[in-house]
Amino acid sequence: MKPSAFSARAASSYAEGPPRQVPGYSSLHRMVSLLLAERTPQDGRVLVLGAGGGQELKALAEAHSGWTFEGVDPSPDMLHLAEQVAGPHAARMRFHRGYIDGASDGPFDAATSILIFHFIPHDQRLETLRQVRRRLKIGAPFVLVHLSFPQAEPERSIWIDRHVAYGRSNGLEPADAERARQAISSGLTILSPEEDVAMLRPAGFSNASLFYVGLSIRGWVAYAE
């Protein structure tokens, strides 16, 4: 089973969601940009897994005029939105509708996956990470950001409540907040931070470092061995 693609309706309203549900979202892309730039050359190629929406692509393209990008996403509506959001920078981007196993071989100088891995079923996560690693040069940075919090009760329920409460305090409509609760409770695949980090090593990544924590969401940077 592949992670489901966003519908046209979900795509049209996607830009409103992350800023309301992700603490520090306005600074997250800048952090990602700085981390990638530590090892990515000025003419680097960057693989973006889950490129739909285009916010990440736009931010990275604006910060690095010499980088080119390959964006991968299963939703045609989300890719169309990404092209629109990227605007004039879209000329430096190649879009692939599908999943990581259909992306070009690269090799890429860097890769990102922001707010995507909680949509990927547990039994596909390790292989997805391996497919990303296979497309990277040795030493290339990989930035990974997604929902990740303790999975033992009562901590699990407490973190879900915190995520929903943050969204509501930031203007998320009650019905949307409840949909988020249901998705996190039963529709998404969420691991503990320890499990997330442990999965990077057998996929071929080392030196994973935590650089971002926003309530229920965590972000790491690791490097292709």
Q: Are 11 and 77 in contact (CB under 8 A)?
A: yes
Instruction: Please provide the average confidence, as pLDDT, over all residues in the chain.
Output: 92
pLDDT, average across residues 44-65: 95
In angstroms, what CA-CA distances link 206 with 72, 125, 157? 24, 17, 31
Q: Are 175 and 164 in contact (CB under 8 A)?
A: no
Question: What is residue 6's predicted lDDT score, i.e. its pLDDT?
Answer: 45
Whether the model clears a pTM of 0.85, i.e. scores above it, the answer is yes
Model confidence at 111, in pLDDT bands (50, 70, 90)? very high
What percentage of the chain exceeds 90 in pLDDT?
A: 83
Give the tens place of pLDDT for each residue, 114-167.
999 999 999 999 999 999 999 999 999 999 999 999 999 999 999 999 999 999
Give the tens place of pLDDT for each residue, 169-210.
988 888 888 888 999 999 999 999 999 999 999 999 999 999
Question: What is residue 172's predicted lDDT score, i.e. its pLDDT?
Answer: 86
- How far is Cα 164 from Cα 174, in angstroms, rounded to an integer? 9
Model confidence at 15, in pLDDT bands (50, 70, 90)? low
Question: What is residue 12's predicted lDDT score, i.e. its pLDDT?
Answer: 47
Candidates 202, 203, 200; CA nearest to 220 is 200
